[in-house]
Chains A and B, each alone.
Chain A
């Protein structure tokens, strides 16, 4: 008997496998269950293939999307169009990552209670955008393609980010059969997914670089004779600006002056500063990662370097990233990273609350102040301060040439320097022609709307 008794230890092997296996599972549960629960198709989480059951509202609490029973959009057709690219369409043609990013928080998931919610409360996701400002911006775009975006550079809240063309998800047009290019690129959220040739708004970057690395640049004068020659190649202006200092060069957006400044800064320095300012790097927030820009002058000829500093050549910027850079200048070198989702609640419980995230220090306070002064001068001297009543707007326009006979893109970027309205913005109108004349009327409407929203709050 003894020997049979002694052999019973073999059973311990089975027990060890079972206990060990379950132990391993509990380890996996502790480390991976939050991924399992939001894995695509997870039955308790997904209302459809993209999002959980819940309500998406704007900053004023107006419903933009309700996924509790299919997809119900805002009541107002204009609001539906103005916010479509943030909440997505029914077919999933528009990538709206933010609606699927906070699934775990929308279902109130935690490893102890799982997705159990007392009384079956559904999640509510509050976005930072104002549907009122969105509609104002959409109307101001007046059928043109492009994007208008405004964010609070102190907190990071995106107040407005409209992208056009758009459509009403409750009345989907025949996009596939569109031959007029009305809906070209309609599924793109241009604010985050597109890159544009910046044109002269890039001169802000060049100026910032020059302020840092060229001693005494502010006191230098440059002469514009309408053209500036590099052997057979040349940089041109629309007219001869004459003698200008740096401030004047920016106000007049003088290409010839900037060709000279480009030479002073040099290829290596330009590449260094573009990298340092993060001009081409993507921005990430709420599951969204913006498109990567481009600045490559490694093999550029001197004239090409000059054009790159004017925002042409192979330069590409993403509107969201450039807007963030504006925010950094406005707040003295360190701005806030933008975000779209301010908080998620399930019943009374707050499961996600956005926290402001600062950018890396991009430029010094001193340089930021000088840039601010120059950009303020642009508005008062050129764009017209009366367009922005009650707001101290600092900005730079751009008219990016596309080549191939296409009408230029109108670009406009800058910020409001008022303490009460810490807003940075960017306006892009594709084939919109001159930057200031096209964009200022749009921005005028949008900033006024932003101001009224902020005054109310």
Chain B
């Protein structure tokens, strides 16, 4: 083994290898991303039909979501233009077991089922609902129809395509690994092999698991693993001894990803998890406040058994869970007030922790949840004003943040002090050019936080600006995917969850990248999946689960249950 290491370290072809690598890596990365991103941006959005609503006059309306608002308003899912119908009259909800419920959304006229006024009522076959004097009946589609529909729907991705993507990604990981080994320091070989090797094994295991449970979409996961590969490369160049730690964090992250996904397969289960998550979210912050350590002006670190954790990263995931809500809850004003109160509580904890960057992320997450739930631009306006005031106060309190702000767009005037990290970052990005200097051959790794706060620049220097920009494209694609899936989402719970989670990933990327590049003030926020940091990695995978849960493409997501007996058809024929 040592002999092999020595011969690798002294290999004369290292320079020639890098010469090829510089061109091969961007091409390979581009190919992987193209193959992964295109399906996410171009998949056909096929509405699912779950039931038909029959009216007295014989008209029938398809029900395309699990949650449907009935009312006079044009924005209702089922619009009934009659003066006796309230603007938002009632919510028709489908449950995981196929049963349907009608809920009165505090309407004037009320909802009657079989002549009896109800506020919430599980619907039985033959039940007649009356809304504003209009009678209607609900007929869910039959199991047979459901199977037919499922068959007609396009399968998301193909197993072979995913396999090919994964082979390409593994090749990229192998190439990166070789770039570090050839001509590298033999002392670092073991951790580098562990890091990249472990990463490759993890992705293949997850892929195999998907094959076993008959899920055929691995695009989102491949994108995440691509970012993890870049992160591993940043760590391998900055501090190879940390690769194993990051690998373990990634494994925990994937477990969390699967757990959250599983919890959301069943909305009733998800609602229970939601309470647990809400409590946990606050608990993480309170524990940090009580037992946390202060680093770099922010008290957001927890040291447990030599491991330093940043529980606020996990609170983000909990916050998304707490913010997501089904339509019947959204229609109830009391719930949004409760959520605002919850957000204030979280915000208070963050203010005490003096963690400006995280507070900013929570704020924007709150903003998107509040808007998705209330639809009120006024709310957003008020929240932004509140942020303005809070920001001023935060800057007054936190001279650390103020110093960062004073350097914004002035880094070249103070290149050795306030602008040190960013000026080095820009110099090294320029030095790397579009194609990079090769993994492990940069300078930026010697600068503080090269594998976290300014990891974008480290990758840009060693892999080239093209690959670095691809990392940003990855996050943008995840965001666009969340937007696209919203239209065919079954429940607002999933839409809100996916959009908030994707927004957090976007905001973190905005603050991290544009901060490094001196386009926005430097806040020291992590880049999802890329930055070295265990809790950040776990949190990013947790957020990804929400994006995955909204993916209703046929057989796409493990977080979406296959329709009952999807594969019964054949056996039925046999019978």
**A interface residue numbers (CB < 8 A to B):** 1-12, 14-15, 17-19, 21-22, 24-26, 28-29, 33-34, 36-37, 39-45, 109-116, 118-120
Contacts and interface: CB of A to CB of B under 8 A. Distances in A.
Interface stretch (B118-126, B143-151, B198-206, B432-440): B432-440
Contacts of A111: 430, 433-434
B395 interface: no
Interface string B323-346: 000010010000000000000000
The 6 closest A-B pairs by CB, nearest first: A114-B433, A33-B430, A37-B430, A43-B443, A44-B431, A1-B65
Contacts of A1: 64-69, 77, 327, 489, 491-492, 495
Contact of A37 (B372, B427, B479): B427
B251 interface: no
B372 A12 contact: no
Nearest to A42: B427
A4 B437 contact: no
A43 B428 CA distance: 8
Contacts of A6: 75
Given A11-B499, A36-B427, 13 more contacts: A3-B76, A14-B364, A18-B506, A18-B513, A21-B514, A40-B415, A43-B431, A43-B443, A43-B444, A45-B427, A45-B431, A110-B433, A116-B432
A2 B77 contact: yes
A25 B514 contact: yes
A21 B513 contact: yes
B75 A18 contact: no
| Chain B interface main SS type | helix
Contacts of A120: 15
Contacts of A37: 427, 430-431
Interface string B351-387: 0000000000000100110011101000000000000
Contact of A5 (B480, B486, B506): B486
Contacts of A21: 510, 513-514, 517, 519-520
B476 A19 contact: yes
A9 to B, nearest CB: 8
Contact of A2 (B75, B368, B461, B496): B75
A19 B510 CA distance: 9
B19 interface: yes
Interface in B397-440: 412, 415-416, 423-424, 426-438
A141 to B, nearest CB: 41
Interface string B486-518: 110101100110010011001101100110010
A78 B480 CA distance: 70
| Chain A interface main SS type | helix
B486 A8 contact: yes
23 contacts: A1-B69, A1-B77, A1-B327, A3-B69, A4-B330, A4-B492, A8-B495, A10-B367, A11-B483, A15-B506, A18-B475, A21-B513, A21-B520, A36-B426, A37-B431, A109-B431, A111-B430, A111-B433, A113-B433, A114-B432, A114-B435, A115-B431, A116-B437
Nearest to A4: B492
Contacts of B509: 18
B372 A8 contact: yes
Contact of A41 (B416, B483, B506): B416
Contacts of B77: 1-2
B75 A116 contact: no
Contacts of A114: 430-437, 461, 464
Given A4-B495, A18-B506, A18-B510, A116 B364 contact: no
Given A17-B510, A36-B429, A29 B465 contact: yes
Interface centre among A3, A26, A110, by most B CB within 10 Å? A3
B510 A118 contact: no
Contact of B430 (A2, A24, A36): A36
B35 interface: no
B371 A10 contact: yes
Interface of B: 15, 19, 22, 64-69, 75-77, 327, 330, 364, 367-368, 371-373, 375, 412, 415-416, 423-424, 426-438, 443-444, 461, 464-465, 469, 472, 475-476, 479-480, 482-483, 486-487, 489, 491-492, 495-496, 499, 502-503, 506-507, 509-510, 513-514, 517, 519-520
A70 B386 CA distance: 57
A131 to B, nearest CB: 33
Contacts of A19: 476
A24 to B, nearest CB: 6
A119 B15 contact: yes
A447 B486 CA distance: 84
B489 A5 contact: yes
Nearest to A110: B433
A380 B244 CA distance: 86
A303 B483 CA distance: 87
A40 B491 CA distance: 57
B496 to A, nearest CB: 7
A338 B451 CA distance: 48
B479 A14 contact: yes
B291 to A, nearest CB: 34
A308 to B, nearest CB: 44
B356 to A, nearest CB: 18
A25 B513 CA distance: 10
Contacts of B66: 1
Contacts of A17: 510, 514
A43 B483 contact: no
A25 B482 contact: no
A11 B496 contact: no
A29 B487 CA distance: 38
B368 A11 contact: yes
B182 to A, nearest CB: 14
Nearest to A33: B430
A12 B486 CA distance: 13
A155 B69 CA distance: 85
A175 B207 CA distance: 73
A122 to B, nearest CB: 14
A2 B67 CA distance: 9
A44 B480 contact: no
A21 B475 CA distance: 14
A29 B507 contact: no
A114 B520 CA distance: 25
Given A4-B372, A11-B503, A25-B519, A39 B433 contact: no
B22 A22 contact: no
A357 to B, nearest CB: 29
A369 B487 CA distance: 87
B517 A25 contact: yes
A39 B414 CA distance: 12
A43 B416 CA distance: 13
Contacts of A26: 469
Nearest to A12: B483
A12 B479 CA distance: 8
Contacts of B492: 1, 4
B476 A15 contact: yes
B196 to A, nearest CB: 23
Nearest to B505: A14
Contacts of A24: 519
A65 to B, nearest CB: 23
Interface centre among A34, A37, A116, A119, by most B CB within 10 Å? A116
B506 A44 contact: no
A7 B367 CA distance: 12
Nearest to A46: B427
A7 to B, nearest CB: 5
Contacts of B438: 116
